[in-house]
Amino acid sequence: MTRSRLELLQWFALFAGPLAWATEHVVGYGISDASCRVAGAQWGLDATVLQIVLAVLTAIVVIAAWLAAFVAFRETRSVDDYTPGPLGRIRFFAQAALLGNVLFFVIVVLDGVSTVHDLPCHQA
Amino acid sequence: MAVVDRIEHLEELWLERPGGLGWLTTVDHKRIGILYFWTTIVFFAAGGTEALLMRTQLAQPDQTVVSPETYDQLMTMHGVTMIFFFIIPMTTGAFGNYLVPLMIGARDMAFPRLNALSYWIFLGSGIFMYSSFLVGQAPNAGWFDYVPLALRQYDGGLNIDFYALGLIFSGVASTAGALNLIVTIFKLRAPGMSWNRMPLFCFALLAASLSLIFALPALTVDCVFLELQRKLGFHFFDVAHGGDPLLWQHLFWIFGHPEVYIIVLPAFGIATSIIPTFARRRMVAFPLVAMAELLVAFIGFGVWAHHMFATGLTTTTLVFFAAASMMVVVPSTIQIYAWLMTVNLGTPDFRAPLMFIGGFIIFFVLGGLSGIMFAAVPFDQATTDTYFVVAHFHFIIFGAAVFPLLGGIYYWFPKVTGRMYDEQLARWSFWLTFVGTSLTFFPMHIVGLLGMTRRVYTYRHGLGWDAYNLVETIGGFILAAGLLLIAFNIVRSLRSGEPAGRDPFYGGTLEWTIPSPPPHYNFAVIPTVSSPYPNWDEPDREEDLRRLAQGELVLDGGHETPATTVNDAELAEILDMPPESPWPIVLSLVVTIAAFFLLTEHYVTAAFFLSLAVLALAGWHAAEPDTLPVRTARSKGWWGAVVFVATEATLFGTIVGTYIYLRLQNAHWPPPNVPKPPVLTPTLLTAALVLTSIPMYIASRAAGEGRRATAWRAITVAFVVQLAYLIWQVHDFVHTVHVYDPQQSAWASVFVTLLGADHLHVLAGVLFSAWFVLRIRSRLTRYRIVGLQGTAFYWHAVNVITAVVLVVQLSTRL
């Protein structure tokens, strides 16, 4: 694999998952608030459908990021932890992204589970 | 030249003037770190005294040691002091400033004068905040100052104004410090120190600094909204005019939760420095620990509403934040396992620094367990605002942030002073502090579950709380004794401690390769780096000696340090660093005076002093190095502009987010009786401004290529259009405020604030452009080229933000 492609995989692995989750978190909170508030109630939002779509899309991006991290990690298996950059740095961040994207995937799944249950706007 | 001569020459180059004047004008990161250290110790003593007064009041039921009004002020100032004036400046300002350049092999921070400015502004903001006691009007609505209690109709004195203005002011210092740490870590690492070879302490400070950059704008905007509502009758937080009191809480906790990670991350960094040294081995799972530090900071931005579980948020929102709150524990747990495994697999030497880390781990685990309990919404709703949460955050903030600090003070004391502390006294101080902390804060879990609410001034006898409160008070005094014993040990060792030598503990990082205390120039030769533990890499240390003898990377042609590429630390240029300067303290002084005039509503006088601040900035930049650029990567100035733009963009994002949040609360937005904003004129003006990005780009590129005349013509064209835009908009703004009266509705309040913030940023950009129109008319220097490129980047960002403001304005037509 070319160095530039490996670099691209590493940066995608490191940033795509966190940014996708952050977007899902903020937009999901916004959809929830909008559908339950005065103004949003006028717009006829189907919050459940929107939240499910958002969660699925986010999960796809996070999985893709994890796979990118896996490929980058495997492609740098010949280097050790303290090899200088770029290869050492790529391996370092690939390991980091392998961990991070698992966490983001779990959060997205938990968010999605709540959405499927079609919770009421407010607690009783 | 002989090695001795090289070293003497370096010492002459980096020596600052002696005496008190030297301390006032210093830009040396080590001196600034020491200034931060002693200043934050004074604030720690103040916050601790406030705590002991509160504990004395609560020792027994129905006491009147202090009045209720005084208690409110003590309770508020204890929190404000400990968080804003002790722990953050101690960790980032003292430890970060002193140690980061040493650990990465640099001779100073990226921006030495900005470093000095951040200290003097921190001091000014602390004096400003504490002057409130002199007039008996200290902040009194709690450290998170909820509305509506903090609004003028319920708290009409200057108390809350001291709070809001003081935090805006202190936020400037923290932002400047964080920007400096980020750019230093990005650009000033020694050649060869790629990301995977950087010490974990530096990862922790990087994570904390990035969090400060993105979290502080929310607090700043919140405090600005509060002051606009209190002083000028704007409406952000009152429902009757379309506002929402929960807006304060959202914005506060968007800052407030990352804040607790900002507090604890440097403590993690200290732990990850001490553990490998005293376990005699490298940290287990180094890449995962580094990533865990960054992950904690990032996920920490997504949990803020867990402070608001009892406020009636939508159910789905509760679940989103509960899920994130549960997962944020995982990176912390990874670190705990890594620390414990490292000690277990090593040959631990339980000297005082490691003992404090042991205490830290115990308190952090217990505090973390009570924290994860709060992630469960039903439990949180039952126990929020009781002493259970007071117990939780004191276990974390005192146990998990202060304990590593105390261990770090002992650990680095020999390096900073050249003397050893008394080990036996240090161990006693650990046990006294540990017992005191446990006795003070553990019973709070129980008394909270028994129903004692936080912030109460007193309580009745017979509720079952008496004995626990008495134990907590006794514990508080034991804790104070422990801290005083540490202070005694430090002061006595300063005077008569045994000489420490270069490396008394055989630490792994670069600060242990140089003499104790470090020389003014830090490193005689820029060090060779092959791992995050360079002091344990003997071949590299031998290579350093060879290079020193040969004069390679000694950099004794001036006040020099290398700059490297961000990712792989390849040598990019040799920086000429500024000498000591009076401008930081002068600038800080005029800004502090301006703050007092803002407090007392003398706005014209405040504006006058802020104008003096602008002149001081001109004086600051008038003197510059005269070297030509020999650079192969983006400059530190460019990265500084990027980080600055990131924090300003977050600020605007917060105001736009407020607009959207309040839009959702209101059926009609803007209100029916308000005319819609015009379309054509704002669109044409914004287009004209956005188009100035073209000449700014041309100016930036031409300057980088040494084409002075082209650069000057391009920036002059841009400046003329920018100035014309500003004049028109200022004139129009007066009309806007008259038509869209912010005293009538929340919509107008947010709209006018958004426009005003944009115009202020345009004003700043116009001043930058004017400066370079004058400066590059005569000649181009490296300093001016970097400044012009940073200004161009700033303008691109302002143009994007102005376009977003236009979109918000046009959205009223939808």
CA distance B537 to chain A (A): 12
Q: Which two tokens stand for residue B35?
A: 């200034």
- pLDDT, residue B2, reads 83
- pLDDT, residue B632, reads 63
Q: Is B814 on the interface with A (CB under 8 A)?
A: no
CA atoms B265, B270, B271, B276: torsion sign:
positive
Mean pLDDT of B64-89: 97
Look at B193-207, B343-357, B767-781 and tell me which has the smallest mean pLDDT. Answer: B767-781
Separation of alpha carbons B351 and A75, rounded Å? 43
What's the mean pLDDT when you consider all of chain A?
A: 91
Question: How far from the centroid of its chain's Cα atoms is residue A95's Cα?
Answer: 16
Which residue, chain included where needed, has tokens 């400037």?
B172
Q: Is B536 on the interface with A (CB under 8 A)?
A: no
Question: How far from the centroid of its chain's Cα atoms is residue B85's Cα?
Answer: 11
Question: Which helix (H) or strand (E) covers residue B563, if one does?
Answer: strand B560-564
Q: Is B710 on the interface with A (CB under 8 A)?
A: no
Contact B302 A25 (CB under 8 A): yes
Mean pLDDT of B806-811: 93
Q: Which domains does chain B have, with CATH numbers?
A: 3-496 (1.20.210.10), 634-811 (1.20.120.80)
Report whether pLDDT(B686) > 90: yes
CA atoms B445, B446, B449, B450: torsion sign:
negative
Closest CA to B404 of B226, B270, B289: B270
Contact B316 A28 (CB under 8 A): yes
Report whether pLDDT(A1) > 90: no
Of B290, B312, B330, the CB nearest to A103: B330
Separation of alpha carbons B123 and B613, rounded Å? 17
Report whether pLDDT(A123) > 80: no
Report whether pLDDT(B241) > 60: yes
Q: Which two tokens stand for residue B162?
A: 């001291």
B472: which residues sit within 8 A by CB, 6+ positions away?
A: B55, B58, B439, B440, B441, B443, B444, B447
pLDDT in tens, B2-42: 888 889 999 999 999 989 999 999 999 999 999 999 999 99
Which residue, chain included where needed, has tokens 């937009």?
A27
Look at A83-97, B122-136, B337-351 and tell me which has the smallest mean pLDDT. Answer: A83-97
B558: which residues sit within 8 A by CB, 6+ positions away?
A: B13, B576, B625
Report whether pLDDT(B191) > 90: yes
- pLDDT, residue A124, reads 60
Of B314, B530, B667, the CB nearest to A32: B314
**Is residue A122 within 8 Å of A38, Cβ to Cβ?**
no
User: What whole-number percentage of chain B has pLDDT above 70?
Assistant: 99
Residues in chain A closer than 8 A to B570 (CB atoms): 85
Q: Looking at chain B, how many residues does it have?
A: 814
- At residue B424, what is the residue type? Q
Split at pLDDT 50, 70, 90, the class of B106 is very high
Name the region of B136 (left: φ>0; alpha: ψ -120 to 50; beta: rest).
left
Split at pLDDT 50, 70, 90, the class of B51 is very high
Report whether pLDDT(B717) > 70: yes
Residues 83-122 of A with CB under 8 A from B: 83-86, 88-89, 91-93, 95-97, 99-100, 103, 106-107, 110-111, 114-115, 119-122
Q: Is B311 on the interface with A (CB under 8 A)?
A: no
pLDDT in tens, B411-458: 999 999 999 999 999 999 999 999 999 999 999 999 999 999 999 999
pLDDT in tens, B373-390: 999 999 999 999 999 999
CA distance A97 to chain B (A): 8
Look at B198-202, B204-208, B241-245, B630-634 and tell me which has the smallest mean pLDDT. Answer: B630-634
Separation of alpha carbons A34 and B314, rounded Å? 10
Q: Which two tokens stand for residue A116?
A: 């499927």
Contact B665 A37 (CB under 8 A): yes
**Is residue B324 within 8 Å of B377, Cβ to Cβ?**
no
| Structure letter (DSSP) for residue B241 | G
CA distance A81 to chain B (A): 7
**Is residue B213 within 8 Å of B654, Cβ to Cβ?**
no
**Which residue does chain B place closest to A117, by CA atoms?**
B316
Closest CA to B753 of B676, B809, B686, B689: B809
What's the mean pLDDT when you consider all of chain B?
A: 95
Residues in chain A closer than 8 A to B292 (CB atoms): 99
Instruction: Choose from B210, B314, B329, B654 for mutation: most chain A CBs within 10 A.
Output: B314
Higher pLDDT, A103 or B782: A103
Report whether pLDDT(B88) > 60: yes
Q: What is the CA radius of gyration of chain A?
A: 18
pLDDT in tens, B655-667: 999 999 999 889 8
Mean pLDDT of A105-113: 92
Higher pLDDT, B469 or B706: B469
Closest CA to A93 of A81, A104, A103, A102: A81
Report whether pLDDT(B628) > 60: no
Report whether pLDDT(A43) > 90: no
Residues 267-296 of B with CB under 8 A from A: 286-288, 290-292, 294-295
Split at pLDDT 50, 70, 90, the class of A92 is very high
Report whether pLDDT(B629) > 60: no
Mean pLDDT of A33-53: 84
pLDDT in tens, B257-287: 999 999 999 999 999 999 999 999 999 999 9
- pLDDT, residue B631, reads 64
Report whether pLDDT(A8) > 60: yes
Mean pLDDT of B597-619: 94
Cis omega (within 30 of 0) on the bond before B518? no
Q: Is B323 on the interface with A (CB under 8 A)?
A: yes
Q: Is B314 on the interface with A (CB under 8 A)?
A: yes
Closest CA to A73 of A59, A50, A92, A58: A92
